[in-house]
């Protein structure tokens, strides 16, 4: 069997390797010539994917990367894993998906299957993508070619998160489309969960994201309330963990108000950086310093520990807020040596992580722990830093002089 995977990023590359290991011939398509070149040389550009893993399947000729979409004419299935970011005014941007549809449509062979994996709103697959594919190919979805949606559930840095072991939800445009998509994923994924339509599959992924956002917001809100009461949220979390899983399970009836929940969760979460900046101001204040003119180091740029993905990270919001208030801001992140140009934060492009040594760290007035990578030596940090604001409880168990660490 021969398939194509479009978009060789955090989602597409591990998936391509997974299929290749199941003896499927994979053509990896990406518009980024740099990534294409690295894959074909058996080199990795994602921290948690070892180069040998790529090199092995490339050597066996199971995986080949290219920027030439004509190869689509030779495959039985195309899986799309391109980005679906939110625009500046937080509207979904599906332009990458539509561009991919336009690029593959002219080469699509009769009977081929197209599966979208990118996170998106219900209707994207059977309205937007379908229309682009039908216009570009002159064929009809569900009749001349098959169409399906299967949300990706990649969880970078989670050791257990092997693509093969994460159940795959699949929805088809027609029952025949579903059958084809289930057969495709069953070749290499242990458990495939069929649902009744593309829209249900799209909605499933959104529910997972919203559930997480609401839970994060709930803890954020309690962090503020407990903080005001002088109660340490981290101690509460540890204690609560000993009984049930920490987060609340929402009952179905509570979903009647779900857009209010979602918006409220978003509001609470996006306001957290301001709370952290206030904590930085308070910590500096005790040393008779202002944010303006202070040298502040952000520790951890990635959006969560032990990954190299920093695209949606709140660390950028922190850097921006502190810089606006006149701080001299730098960052340290072993996994993000240099900030790539992005649409959201063009002003930070090209900045480099500082070095990890006593002289560098001591030179900062304050170190703000934004992400707690486990490779960082927090004992050294406790020793070297003059003042620390810790938003992750990373300094728990590290002995430092009284008043040096501030939790936020």
Cα–Cα distance for residue pair 393/371, rounded to 1 Å: 10
Residue 305 binds to ligand NAD (criterion: CB under 6 A) = no
Min dist CB 192 to ligand NAD, Å, is 18
Q: Nearer Cβ to ligand NAD, position 68 or 235? A: 68
- Going from the C-alpha of 347 to that of each of 148, 327, 373, the distances in angstroms are 39, 15, 25
* Lookup result for tokens 């007035």: 365
* Lookup result for tokens 């003896």: 23
Structure tokens at 255: 């979903």
Task: Return the residues of window 59-118 that contact ligand NAD according to CB under 6 A.
Answer: 81-84, 96, 99-100, 103, 118
C-beta neighbour count of 237 within 10 angstroms: 14
Q: Nearer Cβ to ligand NAD, position 68 or 377? A: 68
Q: Phi and psi dihedrals of 256, rounded to 5?
A: -55, -25
Min dist CB 314 to ligand NAD, Å, is 16
Q: Are 322 and 328 in contact (CB under 8 A)?
A: no
Say how far residue 74 (Cα) sits from the centre of its chain: 31
Question: Which of the stretches 2-10, 130-138, 142-150, 241-249 binds ligand NAD when contact is defined by CB under 6 A?
Answer: 2-10
336 burial level (CB within 10 Å; 0-12, 13-18, 19+): buried
Min dist CB 284 to ligand NAD, Å, is 34
Choice from 3, 4, 5, 12 touching ligand NAD (CB under 6 A): 12
Residue 129 binds to ligand NAD (criterion: CB under 6 A) = no
Min dist CB 40 to ligand NAD, Å, is 14
Binding letters toward ligand NAD, positions 156-185, x by CB under 6 A: x-----------------------------
Q: Nearer Cβ to ligand NAD, position 119 or 137? A: 119
Min dist CB 329 to ligand NAD, Å, is 25
Residue 186 binds to ligand NAD (criterion: CB under 6 A) = no
Choice from 4, 5, 11, 284 touching ligand NAD (CB under 6 A): 11
Tell me the site size for ligand NAD, rule CB under 6 A.
26
Enumerate helices (H) and strands (E) in the chain, giving the number of each: 12, 13
Choice from 3, 4, 5, 10 touching ligand NAD (CB under 6 A): 10
Strand segments, DSSP code E, in 83-140 are 113-116
Residue 29 binds to ligand NAD (criterion: CB under 6 A) = yes
Q: Nearer Cβ to ligand NAD, position 123 or 227? A: 123
Q: Are 178 and 169 in contact (CB under 8 A)?
A: no
Min dist CB 155 to ligand NAD, Å, is 7
Residue 6 binds to ligand NAD (criterion: CB under 6 A) = yes
Cα–Cα distance for residue pair 18/286, rounded to 1 Å: 53
Min dist CB 404 to ligand NAD, Å, is 34
Cα–Cα distance for residue pair 368/392, rounded to 1 Å: 10
C-beta neighbour count of 13 within 10 angstroms: 27
Helix (H, G, I), strand (E, B) or coil at 230: coil
Residue 247 binds to ligand NAD (criterion: CB under 6 A) = no
> Which residues, 6+ apart, have CB-to-CB distance to 36 below 8 Å?
8, 28, 30, 65, 66, 67
Q: Are 330 and 367 in contact (CB under 8 A)?
A: no
Q: Phi and psi dihedrals of 405, rounded to 5?
A: -105, 130
Residue 119 binds to ligand NAD (criterion: CB under 6 A) = yes
Question: Which of the stretches 28-36, 269-277, 316-324, 352-360 binds ligand NAD when contact is defined by CB under 6 A?
Answer: 28-36
Residues in touch with ligand NAD (CB under 6 A): 6-12, 29-32, 35, 81-84, 96, 99-100, 103, 118-119, 152, 154, 156, 309
């Amino acid at each position: 069997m021969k398939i194509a995977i479009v978009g060789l990023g955090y989602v597409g590359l591990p998936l391509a390797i997974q299929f290749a290991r199941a003896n499927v011939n994979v053509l990896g398509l990406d518009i980024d010539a740099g990534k294409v070149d690295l894959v074909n040389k058996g080199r990795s550009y994602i921290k948690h994917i070892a180069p040998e893993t790529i090199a092995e399947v490339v050597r066996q000729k199971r995986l080949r990367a290219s920027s030439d979409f004509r190869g689509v004419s030779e495959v039985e299935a195309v899986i799309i894993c391109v980005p679906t970011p939110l625009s500046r005014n937080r509207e979904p941007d599906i332009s990458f998906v539509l561009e991919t549809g336009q690029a593959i449509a002219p080469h699509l062979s009769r009977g081929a299957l197209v599966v979208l994996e990118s996170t998106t709103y219900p209707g994207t697959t059977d309205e937007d993508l379908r229309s682009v594919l039908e216009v570009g190919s002159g064929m009809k979805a569900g009749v001349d070619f098959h169409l399906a949606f299967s949300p990706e559930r990649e969880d970078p840095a989670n050791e257990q998160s092997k693509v093969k072991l994460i159940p795959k939800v699949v929805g088809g445009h027609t029952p025949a489309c579903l059958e084809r998509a289930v057969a495709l994923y069953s070749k290499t994924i242990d458990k495939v969960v069929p649902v009744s339509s593309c829209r249900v599959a799209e909605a499933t992924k959104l529910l997972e994201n919203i559930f997480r956002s609401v839970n994060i917001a709930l803890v954020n809100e309690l962090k503020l309330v407990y903080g005001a009461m002088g109660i340490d949220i981290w101690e509460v979390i540890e204690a609560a963990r000993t009984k049930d899983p920490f987060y609340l399970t929402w009952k179905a009836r509570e979903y009647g108000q779900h857009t209010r929940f979602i918006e409220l969760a978003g509001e609470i979460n996006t306001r957290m950086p301001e709370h952290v900046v206030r904590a930085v101001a308070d910590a500096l204040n005790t040393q008779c310093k202002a944010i303006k003119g202070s040298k502040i180091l952000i520790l951890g740029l990635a959006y969560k520990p032990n990954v190299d993905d920093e695209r949606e990270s709140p660390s950028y919001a922190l850097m921006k807020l502190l810089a606006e208030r006149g701080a001299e801001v730098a960052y340290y992140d072993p996994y993000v040596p240099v900030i790539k140009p992005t649409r959201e934060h063009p002003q930070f492009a090209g900045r480099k992580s500082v070095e990890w040594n006593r002289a560098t760290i001591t030179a900062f007035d304050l170190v703000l722990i934004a992400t707690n990578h486990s490779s960082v030596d927090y004992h050294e940090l406790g020793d070297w830093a003059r003042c620390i604001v810790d938003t992750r409880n990373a300094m728990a168990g590290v002995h430092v002089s009284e008043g040096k660490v501030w939790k936020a």
